[in-house]
């Protein structure tokens, strides 16, 4: 009798685990696209890149932000290579990331480049990136304004890097969604502070 119950319990657990795996895969999976690095852009330090992916989680954040984008990174040019400074929770060891451009857009269905109208101080940007990297923050799933917990969300990181490397500071704007209060992506599309340099729409691979 006990063995039969144990088998049922094990079976139920396996079914739940499989269902969770399928749901999670649906939420996070994005098909690769043919979007590539544009050849006609002279990237600059401090450029902002916004990204959208083809999955449910990205759709949710794009809706919350009221934009066609759900994630943000800051461009840093090192050794003539374009790096994207960003933070996200994607089951890798570190949430804080310095990614290659091609890796950042591998699963992007669309992305855009915005440039601050005021010059970015590269030395200050590099210093800020090093300090944050040393702190190794986790992605802040609570979107908390508490700076003492060593957690950041993507727009919070971009906001911090901008204000530490550009003289004309951004004012902190907060949007609300349910019980969350967060810095929205739209402040980086404000044409008073930024110029749209490039925009690429979806090009899915069949």
Q: Enumerate the domain spans of the chain.
A: 48-200
Kindly state the average pLDDT of the residues 77-95.
Answer: 89
Locate all alpha helices (DSSP H) within the chain, ordered by sequence: 2-28, 56-65, 101-104, 122-135, 154-165
Query: Which pLDDT value is given to residue 16?
Result: 43
Bridge-based pairing of strands 194-200 and 180-182 is unpaired
Give 165: exposed, middle or buried? Use CB within 10 Å, 0-12, 13-18, 19+: buried
Is pLDDT of 201 > 80?
Answer: no
113-159 pLDDT, tens digit each: 999 999 999 999 999 999 999 999 999 988 876 666 789 999 999 99
| 3-class secondary-structure state, position 25 | helix
Kindly state the average pLDDT of the residues 169-190.
Answer: 90
The rounded mean pLDDT for the chain is 82
Is pLDDT of 86 > 70?
Answer: yes
Percent over 90 (pLDDT), the chain: 51
Query: What phi, psi does 127 have (nearest 5°)?
Result: -60, -45
Query: Which pLDDT value is given to residue 34?
Result: 59
Distance, in Å, from the CA atom of 101 to the CA atom of 96, rounded to the nearest integer, reads 15
35: pLDDT confidence band, cut at 50, 70 and 90? low
Distance, in Å, from the CA atom of 89 to the CA atom of 139, rounded to the nearest integer, reads 6
The pTM of the full predicted model, rounded to 2 decimals, is 0.81
Percent over 70 (pLDDT), the chain: 78
Distance, in Å, from the CA atom of 126 to the CA atom of 187, rounded to the nearest integer, reads 22
Bridge-based pairing of strands 175-177 and 151-152 is unpaired
Top pLDDT among 3 and 196 is at: 196
Is pLDDT of 60 > 80?
Answer: yes
- Give the domain 48-200 fold: endopeptidase fold (from Nostoc punctiforme) (3.90.1720)
Bridge-based pairing of strands 151-152 and 138-139 is parallel
């Amino acid at each position: 009798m006990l063995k039969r119950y144990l088998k049922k319990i094990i079976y139920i657990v396996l079914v739940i685990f499989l269902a969770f795996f399928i749901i999670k895969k649906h939420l996070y999976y994005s098909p690769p696209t043919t979007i590539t690095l544009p050849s006609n852009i002279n990237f600059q330090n401090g450029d902002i890149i916004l990204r959208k992916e083809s999955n449910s989680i990205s759709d949710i954040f794009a809706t919350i932000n009221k934009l066609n984008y759900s994630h943000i990174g800051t461009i840093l040019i090192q050794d003539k290579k374009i790096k994207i400074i960003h933070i996200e929770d994607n089951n890798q060891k570190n949430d804080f990331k310095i990614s290659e451009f091609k890796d950042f857009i591998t699963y992007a269905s669309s992305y855009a480049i915005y440039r601050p109208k005021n010059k970015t101080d590269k030395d200050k940007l590099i210093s800020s990136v090093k300090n944050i990297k040393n702190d190794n923050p986790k992605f802040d799933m609570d979107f908390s304004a508490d700076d003492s917990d060593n957690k950041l969300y993507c727009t919070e990181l971009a906001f911090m890097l901008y204000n530490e490397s550009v003289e004309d500071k951004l004012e902190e704007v907060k949007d609300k969604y349910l019980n969350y209060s967060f810095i929205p992506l739209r402040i980086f599309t404000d044409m008073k502070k930024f110029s749209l340099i490039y925009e690429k729409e979806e090009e899915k691979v069949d």
